[in-house]
Amino acid sequence: MSSVGQRERLTQDRVVDVLSSQLGYEYVGDWKDRVNSNVEEELLRQNLLARGYDEDLVRRAIQQFATAASLPAGGSLYDANRRVYGLLRYGVKVKRSVSENFETIWLIDWDNPEANHFVVAEEVSIKGKNTKRPDVVLYVNGIALGVIELKRSKVSVGDGIRQHLGNQKADFVRPFFTTVQLLFAGNDVEGLRYGVIETPEKYWLEWKEPSEVENYLDRGLLQMANKHRFL
């Protein structure tokens, strides 16, 4: 590995350590050699069953959510992402049979954050017209909600932002981003920037004012995760 790669690796290691050792994310390792999805259905199923939902309702809810998260050829990423957000925020309405009332399945437990399953994975290979591999993906109950691209200090955060924007193009892995609610790019000097899907580079925001630069990336991640926990 080159020294450039080593420096980026050290930054990524620190970020993963903050998430796993200080913020309670389960570290699941390197996912470059597995088939990955923005909806890891088995993880979602396990969490919903653990929270007491009926197996049949869980199956129906996951099926409905996976359909909403799919992106047909030529479909709008914005529209799909908005559909997903609605189901994440307000729950999935399902019923056992035509004659019964709808019940709400909460994909994320908003009232009890500790009931959710937070996972951090590295080098997540995503197959599309061209396979891409984001540095870090954050999952809540098996749903990819955050993606982080990290650069060494001498490489602009703008490169990470442009990498995000490129990954969302139709020729790359656009469908993966139907569930993603927050995108992050950072390095040790410029700190952390964030945006949402299809945010032009000039509108990405600093997580906090860069009045201090020492350990800036770590502090930005801590503040981000403590405030949102992606919920």
pLDDT range class, residue 225, cuts 50, 70, 90: low
Average pLDDT over residues 112-124: 96
Indicate the pTM of the whole model.
Answer: 0.87
Residues 45, 47, 50, CA angle at the centre, nearest 5°? Answer: 110
Q: For the chain, what are the domain ranges?
A: 3-228
How far is it, in rounded angstroms, from Cα 81 to Cα 180?
Answer: 7
- The pLDDT tens digits for 31-90 are 999 999 999 999 999 999 999 999 999 999 999 999 999 998 889 999 999 999 999 999
133 conformational bin, left if phi > 0, alpha if psi -120 to 50, beta if neither: beta
Q: Quick one: which of 57, 82, 53 has its CA closest to 69?
A: 82
How far is it, in rounded angstroms, from Cα 36 to Cα 38?
Answer: 7
89: three-class secondary structure by DSSP: helix
First to last CA, the chain: 37
- The pLDDT tens digits for 168-224 are 999 999 999 999 999 999 988 888 999 999 999 999 998 765 454 445 455 555 555
Per DSSP, 136 falls in state E
